[in-house]
Amino acid sequence: MNKLRKLTIAVALSLGTMSLAPAVLAETGASEDDVILSVAGVMPVAALEMTDEPGKWFKDPTDGDSLVVVKPGDAVLIKMTDVNSEHTITSLLWQPGAAKFPVDQDKPSSASVTQTFDKPGLYVFTCKVHPYMFGAVVVDDPNTEGLDLGSEIQLVTGAKVPTTSDVAKKLLRTFFVATTPSLWRDYSKPSWDLKLPSIPLNLGGTVIGLDALNVSMPNRLSNPATPGVGEVWVNAQFETIKGKSKPGSATQVDAEKWTIKKKVKGVDINMNNPHNMWTDRTYKYIYQTEWFDKRLVTFDRETGQIYGALTVGQSPSHVMSRPSDDSLTVAINGEDRVLKLTGGKHPTAQDSVNTGPNSGPHGHHVTHDGKYALTPNALAGSVSIVDLDSGQVSTVPNVGVIPIAIWGDASDKAYVANLLGTPPLLSTLSVIDLKTKQKIKDINLAADYDPISGKTTGEAYGLLPIQTPISPDGKYVVTANTLSATITITDTSTDKVIKSLLCEPGCHGVNFGMKKGGGYYAYVASKFANDLIVIDMDKLEIAGRVLLADTKDGDIVANNGMGGQGVLPLPIADHGWIEQTAKLAGSGQLSAEVEAWLGALTTAQRGIDLPQKVSSLP
Amino acid sequence: MSLSCFLRRLLLFCSSSLLLTTFFIASVQAEYVPIRAGSVTAAAPSGKMHRITLRAAALPSGQLGYQMVSHKIQSPDGQTEDVTNRYSDKPTIPGPAIVMTEGDVAEITLENGISNTNQPVSLHVHGVHFDIYSDGTMKMLNGVADEAAFPGKPYTYKWTAAPGTAGTWMYHDHTFGNPMIGAEDRGLFGALIVNPQSGKVPALINGKVEEVNVSDIKREFILWMHETTFWGMEVNNILKGKQVPLWTNPTLGARLGEKVRFHVIGMGTAFHTFHLHGHRWLLPGTANVVDTVNIGPISRDTFVVQAGEGVGTGDWHFHCHVMQHMQAGMMGDFRVVK
């Protein structure tokens, strides 16, 4: 791990135990003052190059790591080198009062930024479209003890927190884990040991060791006692696979036996960071977005054969069909639109609906009647309600900071996860009334958490919420919180967090599948771990953990089963979709396997009568 | 119908008379006088010979750059001038600007000084003439040879600034890291300025289009628009071509009334609109007066302005006018002093 060597060297230098290498200064031709009137701009002493590579999203070209250590007054070049889509270069956190901060752009581009750092301390950069791409700059004053992280950090949300606080340590630990694949939680090993060396960190005078962030816990896999019905597709987005330069697979898990059936790797098309999937009503095709790229891939569910990869726009994030006609909607996260496509084997673009300037829609949701697409506009902090027939768009402004995922229920309500909360609240779900097109309330997911001490006094403990579906029976919202590594369960009748369950570092994707004999499982995938968590929605407890790594597959070079993001359980448990498939039972249009799945469902699972309130929206 | 008319019908020209007959005759002549375009051996012997050694090396940041090791210029009368001290003695981004005049020839030896790699690095130049062995690409692209420097194994290129090649051109790597693309994106690029043999370039001076003597241009400001960063280099003609690396988003300085030449070149993937406050210039090849030009990858605009003409001294801002590029800091100043 180069960043640790680098930190050690920086500390050694500050203690005077190693000699300083001569700094290379920009030449200004000082002796020719009268004639040379130009003043050189800054020459960066270090660089962070953005890539599509798991963990190395901001890569120091000298050693391949995502952290550089510089001195006050130095400049760092941040640029895009090995990326297939556009990004923003955005300050996630920085030192309060630092000159020329924060760094940001309204929308993604191929930007390069040369940034000078005047104030010692920690600075973290991210991309607003892909907000776990992290790169850090530590500006270390060689005259102080230890590595300077500063006494406070300013978060992009406006909050300022002491570096000694629990939330700051969580951010630091998350940075180290997210950007270091060797520290990811590998469930093919008996335990997870996050061991960092005792490098002294100077938190504005308080010196602690980096090893204060260490964690050690056993890895226990277990199959749920009750089988599920069908299968679960999980995007292991960070798997490094032989024969292609870009990472990721779609991993197919048997929900009855809890084994891996296959991995669709897309070697021939160099499938790049597969993020989210959907299917047609016969479950013949899987539609796959490439989030760090520009394409929508179609492959055969049974054979894994790839039928095509259609260029749809910058950073397509989520795909969902309209249950009424199997046509597709794709959120173009790196742009400002939802693309409408025909379904089938070779989708073709039909129309594009603009979601507003600099909106960047991410995890959208189609209402059960297929009339509306709801988009959480990650870059604009708003929600758009897109009428898929007329193309009319209504926008709910000022929802939160980086609203990243949304889910509509069977009536007029939708829940949206704000990755960076609703200031001053650190972590929120917003409730949107689709009829009045207004935000009704914010649910504080971290109401029972003290960000300074880290004490929790109740179940409401979720930080940095991501995917947030509503259970098919409408009772619960299940949210994956990536920073706290918790799953929060919110009761929709009270809008209170009633349960918090432990998940993995970087937990991210959630979706519901069918439990055998009735009821539902919630499946949760995590970016920096390789298990799939199964939650029993009748008990609101974790029913099991299933390994997503295929340890016998020699073509998986690294990060086996890691990068869990999009989750697609089949049969689709969502009302609106399940009825369309159930209708085809016995028609000859479904495979024997799908027929058997449908046969195993209870009446309630096959579709209940829904209130038709959504269709009465103005 | 005669055979010739039949042939002319095929060319859809038969119904017309004189003009088309002329065309037909011309096309017949073309059959007998094949044109050998771009012949490298046709270099004007009156020009100077540049013997250059460049090295590709890493900067402290891990970016790459070209560095001038040696530049000697031999006149047709046999006199040799060593101009190596014009250049920085370290690798820079952009690399050294190479200045030639139509009729000159350059022999450039490239050394691979990038440590911890056995990747080939090359020089591919735009605009001037060279034969297939000086293309600066790998055999997989050019079909004849790996035209790149390996560690300990330099490669020599020959460029001919033939008549008609006057202009500002790019040179860049075409092999490092990716044999299809190269590593210009990581800093391996520089400018080649070919001055016209006439010694004159058109410019808007005191509101009128006139021919300016190249020898009257005091400073050359080379600005590369790479994604959202300007990378700069000054060639100071008062100091006999002294080169001043200006790194990122610099302040360019000139005295009021001096004739200075801007060379604005795009690279990478982004499209830009270069705008300089308070100044106007000619769109190349036209009499159109502009203060903003479109710059795409490897497209460029070279123009002469009289510093502060009509507007006086001041810090005249220059920037890309694409909004998110400005937000990323793509800007600098043109400082005009008394």
Q: Chain B closest CA to A33's CA: distance in Å?
A: 11
The pLDDT, as a whole number, for residue A497 is: 98
| CATH number of the A2-17+43-218 domain | 2.60.40.420
Let me know the angle formed at the C-alpha of B12 by B11 and B17, rounded to the nearest 5 degrees.
100
With cut-offs at 50, 70 and 90, classify the pLDDT of residue A32.
low
Residue B135's alpha-carbon distances to B3, B155, B169, B266, B298, in angstroms, are: 45, 11, 14, 21, 17
Inter-chain CB proximity B329 and A114 less than 8 Å: yes
B53 interfacial to chain A (CB closer than 8 Å): no
* H-helix or E-strand spanning residue B23: helix B18-32
Strands in B189-195's sheet, in edge-to-edge order, are B98-101, B189-195, B167-172, B124-125
Span between the terminal Cα atoms of chain B, in Å: 77
B160 near B177, Cβ under 8 Å?
no
The residue of chain B with its CA nearest to that of A68 is B61
Q: Chain A closest CA to B104's CA: distance in Å?
A: 28
B309 interfacial to chain A (CB closer than 8 Å): no
The single residue listed with the structure tokens 């801002």 is: B317
Inter-chain CB proximity A112 and B229 less than 8 Å: yes
The pLDDT, as a whole number, for residue A33 is: 67
Tens digits of residue pLDDT in A57-84: 999 999 999 999 999 999 999 999 899 9
Tell me the C-alpha distance between A74 and B172, whole Å.
28
The single residue listed with the structure tokens 């391996």 is: B188
Amino acid at A380: A
Inter-chain CB proximity A39 and B335 less than 8 Å: yes
Inter-chain CB proximity A27 and B268 less than 8 Å: no
Helix, strand, coil tally for chain B in percent (to 5) = 15, 45, 45
Give me the residue from B88, B253, B268 closest to A39, CB to CB.
B253
Inter-chain CB proximity B90 and A107 less than 8 Å: no
Q: Chain B closest CA to A134's CA: distance in Å?
A: 18
- Per cent of chain A over pLDDT 70 is 94
Of B321, B324, B330, B334, which to mutate for an interface test with A (greatest number of A Cβ within 10 Å)? B324
Inter-chain CB proximity B229 and A105 less than 8 Å: no
Inter-chain CB proximity B335 and A35 less than 8 Å: no
Could you say which residues from 157 to 186 on chain B have a Cβ atom under 8 Å away from some Cβ of chain A?
A: 185-186
Q: Is the pLDDT of residue A618 over 70?
A: no
Question: Who's near B178: CB < 8 A, 6+ residues apart?
Answer: none
Q: What is the mean pLDDT of chain A?
A: 93
Helix, strand, coil tally for chain A in percent (to 5) = 10, 40, 50
Tens digits of residue pLDDT in A108-126: 999 999 999 999 999 999 9
The pLDDT, as a whole number, for residue B299 is: 94
Tens digits of residue pLDDT in A547-562: 999 999 999 999 999 9
A81 interfacial to chain B (CB closer than 8 Å): yes
Residues of B in contact with A39 (CB under 8 A): 250-251, 253, 335
The pLDDT, as a whole number, for residue A617 is: 42
A132 near A527, Cβ under 8 Å?
yes
Q: Is the pLDDT of residue A522 over 50?
A: yes
- Position with higher pLDDT, A616 vs A529: A529
Note whether B41-195 and B201-337 share their fold.
yes
Tell me the C-alpha distance between A541 and A531, whole Å.
16
Residues of B in contact with A109 (CB under 8 A): 227-228, 270, 324-325, 328
Residues of A in contact with B221 (CB under 8 A): 38
The pLDDT, as a whole number, for residue A22 is: 41
Residues of B in contact with A60 (CB under 8 A): 62
Q: Is the pLDDT of residue A40 over 60?
A: yes
The pLDDT, as a whole number, for residue A18 is: 46
Tens digits of residue pLDDT in B293-324: 999 999 999 999 999 999 999 999 999 999 98
Inter-chain CB proximity B61 and A45 less than 8 Å: yes
Q: Chain A closest CA to B22's CA: distance in Å?
A: 50
For residues B215-227, one letter each, b for 16 or more C-beta atoms within 10 angstroms of the residue's C-beta and e for the rest, the string is: eebbbbbbbbbbb
Q: Chain B closest CA to A280's CA: distance in Å?
A: 37
Is the domain defined by B41-195 classed in CATH 3.40.50.11900? Answer: no
A510 near A522, Cβ under 8 Å?
yes
Q: Which two tokens stand for residue A408?
A: 């509509």
- Position with higher pLDDT, A369 vs A25: A369
Tens digits of residue pLDDT in A171-216: 999 999 999 999 999 999 999 999 998 999 999 999 999 999 999 9
* H-helix or E-strand spanning residue A429: strand A428-433
Residues of B in contact with A42 (CB under 8 A): 247-249
Of A6, A71, A112, which to mutate for an interface test with B (greatest number of B Cβ within 10 Å)? A112
Tens digits of residue pLDDT in A396-420: 999 999 999 999 987 899 999 999 9
A41 interfacial to chain B (CB closer than 8 Å): yes
The pLDDT, as a whole number, for residue A391 is: 94
Q: How far is CA A495 from the centre of its chain?
A: 24
B230 interfacial to chain A (CB closer than 8 Å): yes
**Beta strand pairing status for A46-51 and A75-82?**
parallel
For residue B12, count CB atoms less than 10 angstroms from its CB and return exposed for 0-12, middle for 13-18, buried for 19 or more. exposed
Sign of the alpha-carbon torsion through A155, A160, A163, A165: negative
Domain boundary assignment for chain B: 41-195, 201-337
Q: How far is CA B110 from the centre of its chain?
A: 18
DSSP letter (8 states) at residue B261: E
A93 near A159, Cβ under 8 Å?
no
Tell me the C-alpha distance between A290 and A227, whole Å.
31
Tens digits of residue pLDDT in B105-142: 999 999 999 998 899 999 999 999 999 999 999 999 99
pTM of the model: 0.89
Sign of the alpha-carbon torsion through B144, B150, B156, B157: positive
Minimal CA–CA distance to B161: which of B100, B252, B112? B100
Give average pLDDT by consecutive 10-residue segment, chain B, 338 residues.
41 37 36 36 68 97 97 95 97 98 97 94 98 97 97 97 97 94 95 97 96 98 96 97 97 98 95 97 92 96 97 98 91 97
A86 near A109, Cβ under 8 Å?
yes
Rounded mean pLDDT, A233-252: 98
Inter-chain CB proximity B244 and A80 less than 8 Å: no
Is the domain defined by A231-607 classed in CATH 2.130.10.10? Answer: yes
Tell me the C-alpha distance between B101 and B161, whole Å.
7
Highest mean pLDDT among A310-314, A574-578, B36-40: A310-314
**Beta strand pairing status for A215-218 and A231-236?**
unpaired
Inter-chain CB proximity A37 and B228 less than 8 Å: no
Question: Who's near A600: CB < 8 A, 6+ residues apart?
Answer: A229, A514, A516
The pLDDT, as a whole number, for residue A15 is: 55
Q: Chain B closest CA to A502's CA: distance in Å?
A: 39
Q: Which two tokens stand for residue A103?
A: 């760094």
Domain boundary assignment for chain A: 2-17+43-218, 231-607
B324 interfacial to chain A (CB closer than 8 Å): yes
A45 interfacial to chain B (CB closer than 8 Å): yes
A36 interfacial to chain B (CB closer than 8 Å): yes
| CATH number of the B201-337 domain | 2.60.40.420
Inter-chain CB proximity A109 and B228 less than 8 Å: yes
Residues of B in contact with A44 (CB under 8 A): 61, 63, 247-248
For residues B305-317, one letter each, b for 16 or more C-beta atoms within 10 angstroms of the residue's C-beta and e for the rest, the string is: bbbbbeeeeeebe
Rounded mean pLDDT, A497-502: 97
- Position with higher pLDDT, A230 vs A4: A230
Tell me the C-alpha distance between A493 and B282, whole Å.
69
Q: Chain A closest CA to B169's CA: distance in Å?
A: 23
Tell me the C-alpha distance between A599 and A230, whole Å.
11
